[in-house]
Amino acid sequence: MESELAKASLRPLGRSSLSVSPLGLGCWQFSRGKGIVGGYWSNLDESDILEIVRVSLEGGMNWVDTAEIYGGGKSEEALAHVLDQLKKEGSPHAAPVIATKWWPLLRTASSITATIDERIRCLGGREIDLYQIHQPFSLSSIASEMKAMAGLVKAGKIRYVGVSNYSAKQMTEAHRLLQQYGLHLVSNQVKYNLLDRKIDRNGTMAAAKELGISIIAYSPLQQGILTGRFHKDPAQIGAVSRVRRMQSGLDEKSMARSKPLIDSLTVLADKYTVTPGQIALNWLIHYNGDTVVAIPGASKARHARENIGAMSFRLTQDELEHLNGASWSALK
């Protein structure tokens, strides 16, 4: 049932031929505790990862987002293993759209070309549908990076090009450069949720809409806060690392400020017999038309089960606007 509903609402990713479900699976959580950002999440074992991927894909997600930096290839490898397993079982969901990312820090654009075969190897030889520049800080210019990415499309190593954490100006520049090679910039992956509306203020959302570029919203649940679980049970905050507490706004002042928003999510959740997190995700994938798709991460199969449920109902326009107001009030 959920799968059918989600299928009905596939949407194009930017101006590409890729049709994606409004929610895809974020795979940072599959870093196996390795690398410079892998320790952020607990180390999941392969059976947990298999269940999370299975539940997500069988429930209607048709794409996954990973990255080189997530465990130095460990997330890509874990994903490849579980997709191999699903294929062996004859699952019709064993070949999702795959998005991954090149890590630019302290590197030049030549590494984009030099490392692509390693990315494909980590993904078990699978085609990379969307290859993204993970963030704008690098030793090379955007022009050199777009030239290298266009070369990969031409060589048939990747299908489409995206960026991540780019400002409106950097995104527009990347788009203009790719057009010189007859390509479009398909997406910009940025932080976006009801408690983080920076891209609505700094022109990124407006530019994306104008240029037909999809926004891939990362941390769509503000790393769990928008599920209401930390407001309901503040003792859970103690189990979260200091860096995550700081990044997500798990301090007393921020929690007090976000409480009325969580209350609004809870009222709507009761109305639809869903959860506050599902309401938050539903807002994200509908408030800006088809421009925003989101990639919630999960460390448990029950998270994935809950998150896919956000694709099986639709808030009314009045409700979307009401949450928009509650969101801005929480950010004042």
Ligand X SMILES: NC(=O)c1ccc[n+]([C@@H]2O[C@H](COP(=O)([O-])OP(=O)(O)OC[C@H]3O[C@@H](n4cnc5c(N)ncnc54)[C@H](OP(=O)(O)O)[C@@H]3O)[C@@H](O)[C@H]2O)c1
Judged by the rule CB under 6 A, the positions of this chain that interact with ligand X are 26-29, 41, 65, 134, 164-165, 189, 218-224, 227, 229, 277, 295-299, 303, 306-307
- What's the min distance (Å) between Cβ of 88 and ligand X? 25
Residue type, 115: T
Which amino acid, one-letter code, is at 145? E
Distance of CA 241 to the CA centre of its chain: 21
Residue 2 C-beta: closest distance to ligand X, Å? 14
Q: Which of 11/229 has CB closer to ligand X?
A: 229
Q: What is the dihedral of CA 53, 56, 58, 59, to 10 degrees?
A: 170
Smallest distance from the beta carbon of 154 to ligand X, in angstroms? Answer: 25
CB atoms within 10 A of CB 86: 20
For ligand X, which is the closer residue by CB, 37 or 181? 37
C-beta closer to ligand X: residue 288 or 307 = 307
CB of residue 36 vs ligand X: minimum separation in angstroms?
13
Asked whether 156 and 117 are in contact (CB, 8 A), the reply is no
| Residue matched to tokens 């590409």 | 16
Which contiguous run of DSSP H or E holds residue 130?
strand 128-133
The answer to whether the beta carbons of residues 70 and 27 sit under 8 Å apart is yes
Q: Which of residues 33 and 317 has its CB atom nearest to ligand X in the complex?
A: 33
d(CA 314, CA 317) in angstroms, rounded, equals: 9
Q: Is residue 176 within 8 Å of residue 268, measured between CB atoms? A: no
| Helices and strands (H and E) in the chain: how many | 15, 10
> From the CB of 156, what's the least distance to ligand X, in Å?
25
Backbone phi and psi for residue 28, each to the nearest 5 degrees, phi listed first: -60, -35
- The residue with its CB nearest to ligand X is 26
CB-based contacts of 202, cutoff 8 Å, min separation 6: 167, 168
Smallest distance from ligand X to CB 187, Å: 11
- If the CB atoms of residues 51 and 65 are measured against ligand X, the closer one turns out to be 65
Please identify, using beta-carbon distances, which residue of 89 and 308 lies nearer to ligand X: 308
Q: Would you say 55 or 116 has its CB closer to ligand X?
A: 55
Nearest approach in angstroms of CB 232 to ligand X is 10
